[in-house]
Chain A
Amino acid sequence: MSEALLEVRNLSVGYRIGAGTVHAIDDVSFTVHEGETLGLVGESGCGKTTAGRAVIKVMPANASITGGEVRYRGRDLVPLSNEEMRAIRWNEIAVIPQSAMNALNPVYRVGRQIEEVIVQQDGASPAEARARAEELFRLVKIDPGRLAHYPHQFSGGMRQRALVAMALALNPALLIADEPTTALDVVSQDRVFTRVRALQKRLGASMLLITHDMGLVAENCDRVAVMYAGRIVEQADTRTLFGAPVHPYTLGLKNAFPSTTRPKDEALISIAGAPPVLLEAPRGCRFAPRCPFATPRCRDEDPALRPVGPGHHAACHHTALAGEMRARAVLSETWTAGAP
C-alpha cells in the first residue's frame, strides 16, 4: 500500500456546552493514503464532520481537541499555531464545505473570490490568477465568462462546482469533501461528483469524503470507515465493507439504503432508537441499546477496534458470529423485535 498522507491517531474532540462536555469524537483513528479516497460515513451527529474539521482545526469556539494526533505527511498538526495552520489550509488541505451552496460571498464576483485565494495563498500575479481561474472553470465545465458574475446568478450545481474549482485552485494534496452534494438533486449530484473524481485522479490528490450517502461511498471510495456515536466501528476496503460487513451497525446502515438487487417493493429497514447523548462516556458498546444482537457482555464491556481480516477492522464482541448476523440482519423482524 502507498504511503500515508494523513494519519489520524486516537483523536478526541469535545464540545463544551452548559451541561458539561460532549465528547463528539472519542479515540478515532484513520489513515488516508496518497491518491486514495477514504469514505467516512455515519448518521447525522456521529462526529464525521467534527473529525474532518479537526483535521484543519477550523472548529466552533467551544470545541477543542482533547487528545490524539493528526499527522499530515508525518507532521503533527495538533500543536501548530493558527498562523502555521493557515499556511496549510487550502495550499495543502482544501475543504469543500458542507454548505457549499452558500459558501460564496454574495457581494463579490465569483471570479474575484477564486483569484483572491490564488493571489493570497500562492503569491501569483493577478493576471496569472485570472488565467488559472479560467482554466479551473473549464475543468469543472463552467463557461469562464461566468467568472464575472455574482453567486446569485449561478444555479446550485454551478455554485457547487465553482466551490470545487476553488478548492482545487492550489493543487491541494488532500481534499476534504464534507457532504459535498447533499443540497443538490441526484442528477446534479452525480454531475458534480463525476467532475470531482476526474479532477482528483488527474491531480493525484487524496480525498476524505464525509457523507451519509452510502451510494456515493460505494461508487467513489477505495476504503470506508463507519462512524457511530463518535467512534469508528468498522473500517475496510469498499468491496469488503459492502460485501462482508461485520458490525451490526454497518449491517443496519446497509439495510437503510435502497439496493438495486433487492425486490423494489420491499420496504427499507431502519434502525430503531437514537444514538446516545455523549455527555459522558457510555458504558459498554455504544451501539448495544439499538443492536438486535446485543448480549449482556455488550452492555458491560466496550469492544475495541480489532482486525477481523486483511485491512478490515471492527469494534464488536461478536465478530465470530458475523455470518449469522448478516443472514438475520436482512429480515425486518430482527430490527423491530429486539430493539427498545
Chain B
Amino acid sequence: MADAGTPSPPGAAAPRAPAPPRALRGWRRLWQPFAGRHLAIASLVVLAVFVFVGVFAPWLAPHEPLEKHYQDDGRLMRLLTPTGDFWFGTTLYARDVFSQVIIGTRSALVVGVITAAAMTLIGLNVGLVAGYFGGWVDSFLMRTTDVVFGVPLLPFAIVALSLLDRSTWWIIALMAMLFWPITARVVRSQVLSLRERPFIDAARISGAGHLRILYRHIAPNVMPQAFVHGVFGVAWAITTEASINFLGFGDPYTVSWGTIIYDVFTSMVSFKAWWWFVPPGLCIIIVTTAFYFIGQAFEEVANPRLRER
C-alpha cells in the first residue's frame, strides 16, 4: 500500500492517503463469524426463536404450567395425546406440556447465560492474574484450577444440593464454581504469550501500571477466547442443569426442561406418553447444538488455524 509519507515538494498540499480497507464496523463486524456458515446462521435463527419464546414466555403459554385441567364431569384430563387445545398433550397430572416447555425455555436460557457469564468472569480474572504475574501467584491459582478441574460435577452437585437449598440459584453457583477452570487455563496460556509482546513492553515504557496493562491492554486480546468458551459454557450449563433436575435435585417448584423429564420418569409412563418427554428433550438438544455451532463459528474467528484449508 502506498505510504502517506511520500516526500512532497515544499508548499504542496499534503498527499492524501488512498482509502485503506475499511475496518469492519458495528453489525458487519458481529456478522463476520457467520458469513457463509450455514449451520451457524441456522443456529442463530433457531436461537432467535427460543430467545423470543423465553422472553415472552408468560404471554405465549396458553395455560398456567402447573394448572390442572378437568373434564366437564370433573375428572382430570390425564395423559391426553396432542390436541388442538393442548398442542403437546397433557401430563399424568393433567397439566399442559406445551405451556411447561415454553416456561422451561425461559429458565433454561437464564440459567445458561448467567452461568456462562459467571464462569467467564471468574475464569478470565484467574487466567489474567495467573498468566501476568507468574511466580507463586501463578502456581497457587493454577494448582487450585487443577483441583477444581478434577471435581466430578454431578456427584458434587448432588451432594452439595442435598445439603443446601434446592434452588436454581445454587445450581447456577455450583456450575459456575466448577466450569471456570477451562476458561482460566485458556486465558492464562494466551496471557503468557501476550505479556511478552512488544506492545505490552511499550505500554510499560509509557508509564502504564499493572492494572492498566492487565485490563486495558491484555484483556481485550483474550476476550475472543474467553467469549468462545462462554458460548460453549451456555450449552454445558443447560445440559447440566437439565441433568441435575432430571435426577430430582433441582427446585421442585420451578418448571424446567429437566424437571419435566424427571416428572415423566417418576410417573413411569415413559413408554406410553412420548408427547410428554420428547418436546423438552428435543428442546435441550436443539438449543445446546445451536450454541455449539455458534461457539464454533466464533472459535474459527478467534483461532484461524481451525478454518478449513
Bound Cα distance A100, B197 (Å): 11
B255 → chain A closest CB, angstroms: 43
Does A181 reach chain B (CB closer than 8 Å)? no
Bound Cα distance A192, B270 (Å): 77
B198 x A99 contact (CB < 8 A)? yes
Nearest CB in chain B to that of A158: its residue: B3
Bound Cα distance A236, B31 (Å): 61
Bound Cα distance A116, B203 (Å): 11
Interface band, chain A: 35 or more
Q: Which of B35-43, B48-56, B73-81, B204-212 contacts A (4 or more CB under 8 A)?
A: B204-212
A59-91: which have CB < 8 Å to B? 85-91
B5 x A141 contact (CB < 8 A)? yes
Bound Cα distance A109, B21 (Å): 14
Chain A residues with Cβ under 8 A from B23's Cβ? 109, 148-150, 153
Does B199 reach chain A (CB closer than 8 Å)? yes
Interface band, chain B: 20 to 34
Does B4 reach chain A (CB closer than 8 Å)? yes
B14 partner, pick from A88, A138, A188, beta carbons under 8 A: A138
A-B contact count (CB 8 A): 93
Does A18 reach chain B (CB closer than 8 Å)? no
Does B304 reach chain A (CB closer than 8 Å)? no
A103 x B201 contact (CB < 8 A)? yes
Does A102 reach chain B (CB closer than 8 Å)? yes
A115-142: which have CB < 8 Å to B? 116-117, 120-121, 138, 140-142
Does A286 reach chain B (CB closer than 8 Å)? no
Nearest CB in chain B to that of A167: its residue: B206
Among A120, A143, A161, max chain B CB count under 10 A is at A143
Does A257 reach chain B (CB closer than 8 Å)? no
**A contact set with B: CB distance below 8 Å:** 56, 58, 85-91, 94-95, 97-109, 116-117, 120-121, 138, 140-143, 145-146, 148-150, 153, 155, 157-158, 161, 163, 166, 188, 191, 195
Report 15 cross-chain contacts, Cβ distance below 8 Å, ordered by A residue: A86-B207, A86-B208, A89-B206, A90-B205, A91-B207, A97-B202, A99-B198, A99-B201, A103-B198, A105-B220, A108-B220, A120-B207, A148-B23, A158-B4, A161-B5
**B contact set with A: CB distance below 8 Å:** 1, 3-5, 7, 14, 16-17, 20-21, 23, 197-199, 201-209, 216-217, 220-221
7 tightest CB-CB pairs across the interface, nearest first?
A103-B202, A89-B207, A99-B198, A143-B17, A141-B5, A102-B198, A86-B207
